[in-house]
Structures are given as C-alpha cells and as structure tokens.
Chains A and B, each alone.
Chain A
Amino acid sequence: MQRPRPNKLHDELDALLDGRPVELTDELAPLAEAADSLRAELATYQLAPGVAERHLERVLEGSGRVVQLPVRRPAGGWEVRRRVAAVALAAALVLAPATIASAAALPGQAMYPFKLAIEQLRIASVQWSSTREAGERTRVADARLSELKRLVDLQMFNQIGPAVTALAEAYRAAKDAVDDAKQDGAAGAEVAELNGKLASVQNQAISTVVMVSSSIQAAKLPSGSTRNAIEAAVHDAQTVLPPPAPPADATPTPTTANSPATSPPTDPSTSPTSPQNTAPASPASTAPPPTSAPTTEPPTTVPPTTESPPTSEPTTPGSAGQVGDSGGLAGADERTSAEAKDVPPTTSPPAP
C-alpha cells in the first residue's frame, strides 16, 4: 500500500490537531490517540482559584514587581526555605482580607471582577465532570440571587437591572448544566440533589424578580434610565424565570379554604413570611395556591403569558408592603439613585 508523502501527513495531522475534519487513516490513528492522551493528561492540571486570586492581586494592587523565585544559595537550603515561608505567611496575612472582600463583593464594587474571575476558574476546574460543573453553576446562580437581594436591600437601584439580567443568565446556564449532567448519566442521587438545589434557586429567583417587578410600581423611583433598565431586565428575565401562573381554570373561591392544607411544599430555604406568598414555588409544573390572589385578581383574567408586563402583577399598596419586609424597593421614599451609590458596602474592600 502506498504511504502518503510526509508533508501531506504533516498537514493532515496538523488539521486533526486543529479539530478540522480529516479522514482518520491508519497512519494518523495512533498519532491522534497519543495526542488525545496528552491532552487529557494536561487537562488535569488546573489552576487553583486561590492562586488565581493571588496573581490578580499582585497585578492590580500595583505591588506587582516580579518576585524572584526562591533560589538556593550557598548559605543553605533551610535558611532560604525559612525566608520563603516567612514571605508566604506575610503575603497570606496581607491578601486574606482582600480574598474575603471579593467573596462578598457586589456589582459595581472594585472587587467584583475578581469574584467573577474566581467563579470562572472554579467552573473551569470542574469541567471534567458534568455533575460537578452543574453543581458549581448552580452555586453561581445562587450567588447572583444573593447579590440581587442584597442590592435590593441596599437600594442600589443603578445595579439592580444588570443584576436581574445576570441572575437570569446564571440560572439558564445552571439549568443547561444540570440537563447535561442528566444526559451524561449522572447517578440518581446526584441528579436529585442537583434538581433540589436548582429548584430552590429557581423558586427564590422567581420570587425575587416578581418582587422587583411589583415593587417598581410602588417605589417612588423617578422614571428615567434606571427605572427603564430595571423594567427591561425584569421583562427579559421573565422569559427564563416566568412569573407564577395564576390559577387558570380552577374556580377561584373554593380553593382558598383548603389552600393551606393543599399547598405544594415550599422551598425550605424560603421564609414563610417572605413575599413568596405572591410567588409560589414551581410555577411551571404546579399551579400555585391562590392564598390571597383570588381576592385581588380579576376573575376574567386572560390566561397569562410568560411575557406578562409588570402591571399585571398585584400592585396594591398591601402587596408592595409585603415585599418591603426585607427592605425592598417600596421603602425607597426619599433615596435617589445617586444616594444609593453612596451606600457603603458591608465590607470595605481595598481600592485596587
């Protein structure tokens, strides 16, 4: 059998390594297998998130002059190792507060990009396992949710719109990752755990988005770009996190009597006194219990769509008041967007 010319073989191998379609001949097969083995081996080397944070600190803190690697000197290895240990300890003491600060950072704060970078690195470090990746992406979605709640508490209006968008994107990514894990044949217990966590995030996320949506109306937020941005973000997010469907064809009144007994299990992580009463769990699969909705909902409501505008939500002062029990937007009487910017963060990250 005639063997291909070396240059042709080189080109074919190069195309194969680039991922271009190439016929896998007998000549190429072992080479491709060797390349795959090497790639798989290299993929196991992942940069630890803490290390990444330290490197970024070195650059952004301006102290980034290249630190010389410890070089063994004639004085003896023990002495050098002692010095290196002292430097490492000092560096750890200096960087630890920054690490903590970045973990609590909110959008708009100086340390927030670090936080996002660390999340990306954590995801990258577990991408060899679809189950672990799903768990990590669910954790990221939960982090976005916590940030949104905190922004609402602090009335940082100018950040709420982007935070709603980020929450929707993170939830979508987590959901896709969980689906991938299922398709990859993750164990039943793992899938159940992932589903549980994702459902918890979903329920709380829907409640929070609904709360933001309904609170916009009650808050004395001046109409302008900030308000428009929040409304647009909420509208977009509701395609991913749809608001709970009102009781569609069930008769409204009889269900109120037995609703406490037949209400679906709510998420354990949500407070029973939280505004979840207006945003029940599992909007897609189960009909929510109309605890107080039937008294406020018009009986001739058109079947809801996922793109229901914020005005279709309960906008009575009472409902807004419920929302405000954790310092929601309804409590924003006198604060302006500019004032909200000045709200000091709970932690004080060092300026980069």
Chain B
Amino acid sequence: MLGFGGEREAVSKVGLSAADLVAARLREPAAVTRIYTAYAPALFRFFMASVGDRHLAEDLTGNTFVSAIEGLPRFRGPVEALGGWLFQIARHDLYDHRRKQSRTRIESLDENLAEATRSDATVDPEELAIDRLEGSRVLGAMRELSPDQREVLLLRMAGGMTAPEVASVLGKTTGAVKALQHRGLASLARVLGLRSPDETPQRPYPSPDPDRLTSQEDEER
C-alpha cells in the first residue's frame, strides 16, 4: 500500500497520522493527497473487480473519494478506522450504482430489448459486470461464489483489510467473515482446478440455488 511520510510517526498501517486527518478536513492539499494515495488504488481495485469496467470503476473511485473528503468532518473515529469508513462509502456507492442501473433497465424498455438481444436474458447487474471480466480466468471464477463470499474476498484482497475490519464494514462477526472467506477461497480453488479438500460430497458446488448458500453462511453468524 502506498503512503508518504516515512519520517513521521505512522499511526495507521498506510502511514497516515491523526494530523493528516485534521489537515484533510481543512482540505489541505498535501494531506488530501496523502489520503488519496494511500487508499485510492485499493478502492479502484475493489470497484474494478466489482463492476468490471475501467471507466466506471474510475468514476466510482473518484465519487467515493470526493464523498469521503466532503464527509470527513463527520468522521470521528481514529485514523486506523479511516479505511473501513472509506470502504463503507464505497459499498454504499456501489449498491447505489447497481440500484440505479436496475431501475434504468426497468424504465427503459428499449434499452432492455436491446440488451436482451445482446445477452440472453441476463439482467442482474452484478452478473453483467462479471461477464465483462470474462477475459480474466480468476475473476471469471468469482462468479461462482455467493455475493457475500465475493464481497468478503474483495474487501480482504483488494482492500487489504483484516478480517475484523471487514467484519466491521459488513456488520458481521469476525467468525462469520472468516467462514465466508474460507468457503469463498475453497470454491475459488475448486473452480480454478486447484485441489480443494474442503469439498464434500454432501455439498456439491456450484449450487444451483444461491439462497441455499446464503442460508448456510447465516449459520456462521
């Protein structure tokens, strides 16, 4: 992860200090730049893997960052919690985008028809996004995971967050996050053709019913 200020007393794991927070609230360019440099690459990877479109991911990253800096005076946590807070905004922006995308599809019959001719009745924005990532074998394999598993793995791997931090962002227990990441990686390993001893005959994968997966994970909460 990037970070300036090698000489300063690093408080967060990305090298930001409480003084950076104070200065960024005042829109001090150096502090804002430090925060951007520390977190924007991770946000972009998160969005890129989520929507599969570079321009859209760039826009979402920029919007999240602008929202965060504007809302920074309301952020009262320690600097270590800044990353989690930023990813909460990122998730909110992502859901907002998907909601608008879905609504637009319903409103625009013409667009829907055109879409239908291009893809065979795939209307889920998330599925469409992953379709765009077809070139990537690994991210293509991510479509086999449940939404919760995908989100946990992306926050963990793209966002560079720890399990407790991911749990805080998602409002789950740390144990649930650990279980989700375990199941997600086991599924990913299986889809990628890596040996996955976790697979059991009682639970063939991929499951035809995503709800079934979700209910299994709910047991971990």
Contact = CB atoms under 8 A, between A and B. Distances in A.
Nearest to B103: A71
Contacts of B153: 38
A72 B156 CA distance: 32
Interface string B57-71: 111111101110110
Given A34-B189, A117-B36, A67 B178 contact: no
B27 to A, nearest CB: 6
A116 B3 CA distance: 11
B119 interface: no
Contacts of A121: 2, 37, 41
B60 to A, nearest CB: 8
A313 to B, nearest CB: 28
B18 interface: no
Q: Most chain-A Cβ atoms within 10 A of its Cβ — which of B104, B108, B157, B182?
A: B182
Contacts of A29: 195
A35 B111 CA distance: 38
A31 B136 CA distance: 19
B15 to A, nearest CB: 11
Contacts of A352: 27, 29
A77 interface: yes
Contacts of A69: 56, 59-60, 63, 97, 100
A60 B32 contact: yes
Contacts of A34: 185-186, 188-189, 192, 194
Chain A residues touching B, majority SS: helix
Given A31-B186, A31-B196, A47 B41 contact: yes
Nearest to B191: A34
Interface residues of A, number: 58
B66 A64 contact: yes
A227 interface: no
A342 interface: no
A45 B62 contact: no
Q: Most chain-A Cβ atoms within 10 A of its Cβ — which of B30, B156, B185?
A: B185
A47 B40 contact: yes
Contact of A56 (B33, B41, B157, B178): B33
B58 A51 contact: yes
Nearest to B27: A60
B158 interface: yes
Contacts of B40: 47, 52, 55
A14 B37 contact: no
B37 A72 contact: no
Contact of B104 (A52, A71, A76, A114): A71
B132 to A, nearest CB: 13
Interface stretch (A3-11, A253-261, A290-298): A3-11
A35 B188 CA distance: 8
Query: Which 9 pairs between the two chains have the least Cβ-Cβ distance?
Result: A34-B189, A10-B178, A30-B189, A30-B194, A41-B138, A55-B62, A34-B188, A45-B48, A117-B33
6 contacts: A34-B188, A40-B138, A45-B57, A59-B36, A113-B33, A120-B37
Given A45-B48, A46-B41, A69-B59, 13 more contacts: A18-B163, A38-B139, A38-B153, A38-B157, A56-B36, A58-B62, A59-B69, A64-B66, A66-B70, A69-B56, A69-B60, A74-B107, A117-B33
Interface of A: 3, 6-7, 9-11, 13-14, 17-18, 26-27, 29-31, 33-35, 37-43, 45-48, 51-52, 54-56, 58-60, 62, 64-67, 69, 71-74, 76-77, 110, 113-114, 116-117, 120-121, 124, 352
